[in-house]
Structure formats: C-alpha cells, structure tokens
Amino acid sequence: MSHSLRDRASNQYCAVLGAEGVGLGRWHGSQHQWLGSRAFTCEAAQPAWQAALQALSALLAEHAVRGGQLQVLLSARYSRFCLVPWSDAISHPRELDAYARACFENLYGQSLDDWRIVLSPEPAGAARIATALPDALLQGLQALGQESHLRLRSVQPYLMAAYNRCSAQLQAGDFLFVLAEPRRSVLLLACGGAWQQVLAQGCADSDQALQALIERTCELYGEQMPQVYLHAPGRGDVPQLAAVQLCQPASETDPLCAMWRAVA
C-alpha cells in the first residue's frame, strides 16, 4: 500500500470521517493540535457520507478554517475492499480498472459505476488490494475544500494510513493485519509474500467478538496460525488478545482523536 501523509507545511488540516462522527486535527509546523469532533446521525434513506459531509462542514465553520491544505481519512464505513487476483491477460490500466470492477461486482452483487477504485501497487504475479470510494463523497469533499479555501491534498481510507504507519513493525512471513475501528474491523491476510484475503465487516467492540472474527479469518489460512498484528485506535483499553499490538496511542476519550494521533 502507499499514499503517505507526509510533507506537512503550515495550516495543514486532517479530517477523520468516522462511522458516527467527524473529527479535525491541525499541524502547524511541528505542533499537533486536535481541534475537536462532531457526531452525526443518518436517516434511513440517506447515505452515511452525506451526514458526514454536513458534520464536517459545520466543524470547519466552527473553527473558522480558511486556507491551507486538507487531508481526509475515511472509516471503513465509507469504503469497500476487494482482492483482485493477478491476471496475465491484463496489459493496460483501463483493462485493470475494468477487471477490478468486475471483481467488486462479483463480490458485492451490484455495479460500482459511481465509485472510484484504487489498487495497491504490487509486484507482477501478486494479487492487489482494491479500494472503492463513492464518487459523490469525493466530489463533496472537493466542494467543501473550495468553500473553506482548502486544497484537498489526499483522501485515504484509514486502513491505508494505518497499514503504512505500522508496516515497519511487521516481520517477514505470513501474517494477519487487523484494523479494529469502532464497530467495524478490516482484516488483511498475507501468505507467501502476497495478499490472500481482505475482509471488512461490522464487529462489536469487545475482545470476544474480535477474537471470534480473527479465528474465522485464520481458518482460511490452514492448520498453522499466522502471526496476528492488531491496530485498535478506537479502543479505550488494550485488547487482551494473542496479537502484537501496533501503534497503540495514549488513551483518548474521543476515538476519532485516537485514530488521528495513531497516524499523525
């Protein structure tokens, strides 16, 4: 995976769009400042990202944000993930995009014409992790940036930011990387130096629920359990699981702030 969140100049803002709230942090030189968060609720017929954009607009106005650069981290609630196997028949980026869309449609059972797909860079012969984001969400973020005179510098699933930050702690070999966001977890299984599985699903914020999810995913691996790495930024306590704890931030009462600090 790629997409680093480096090169921070003055007036750099980072918004975290969580499952039930949005948060905003600022970098000014070498200083980090958490500005706050705002909860939202969704109507049954309303996409979650619409409520998130409305909350972010209010948060930007509350802190009188005018000018600078904006980076956005997206909860897994706003993303879809899919494993795209290697194919020798693919020779052009347009073919790869069409192939990835076919993989998504096969997995989710619906067209993703209104979604933007990004694939992880992998060596020839290896499967890729594909991420789909709603075009309307990306356009809404662009419009919000223009309203506040912010240059939208990057929009990134929190999964990518967390994996990039934690990857140096992962040892070579087979492993399961688990991102436990509040109420939702994403699991990446790597075997033989290549991605084998990506799974995102709702999960209660308890050790028992997370352990059961990990065990079900490891059943795909075979008899020997892979090394499990866990990043749980939204948890107020340290999960008591047989896993290597990654990037565990200081205790935060606001899970959005914990997510921001974990990759700041």
Residue 5: the pLDDT is 37
C-alpha span between 252 and 222 (Å, rounded): 37
User: Is the sign of the CA dihedral 131, 209, 163, 191 positive or negative?
Assistant: negative
pLDDT of amino acid 2: 44
Please, what is the average pLDDT of the chain?
A: 88
The CA distances from residue 193 to 31, 87, 107, 151, in Å, are: 38, 17, 24, 37
Q: Tell me, what's the pLDDT at 193?
A: 86
Lowest mean pLDDT among 1-15, 75-89, 215-229: 1-15
Q: Are 35 and 26 in contact (CB under 8 A)?
A: yes
**Are residues 231 and 149 in contact, defined by beta-carbon separation less than 8 angstroms?**
no
Measured distance CA(81)–CA(100) in Å, rounded: 11
Nearest C-alpha neighbor of 222 from the set 246, 259, 197, 248: 197
Would you state the pLDDT for residue 175? 92
Least confident piece of the model among 82-96, 120-134, 213-227: 213-227
pLDDT digits (tens, 9 = 90+) for 155-172: 999 999 999 989 888 888
Equal fold, 1-161 vs 170-250:
yes
78 and 133 Cβ atoms separated by less than 8 Å: yes
pLDDT at 214 over 60: yes
The pLDDT-based confidence of 3 (bands split at 50, 70, 90) is: very low
Domain limits, the chain? 1-161, 170-250
Q: Which band of pLDDT confidence, cut at 50, 70 and 90, is reported for residue 29? A: confident
pLDDT, residue 11, reads 84
**pLDDT value of position 204:** 86
248 vs 241: CA distance, rounded Å: 14
pLDDT tens column, 137-149: 999 999 999 999 9
CATH number for region 170-250: 3.30.420.40
What per-residue confidence (pLDDT) applies to 223?
62
Q: Which CATH number is correct for 1-161, 3.30.420.380, 3.40.50.300, 3.40.50.2000, 3.50.50.60? A: 3.30.420.380
Unique residue bearing structure tokens 């702690």:
169
Among the listed ranges 29-33, 90-94, 172-176, 201-205, which one has the minimum average pLDDT value? 29-33
More confident residue, 177 or 241: 177
12-30: b (≥16 Cβ within 10 Å) or e: bbbbbbbbbbbbbbbbeee
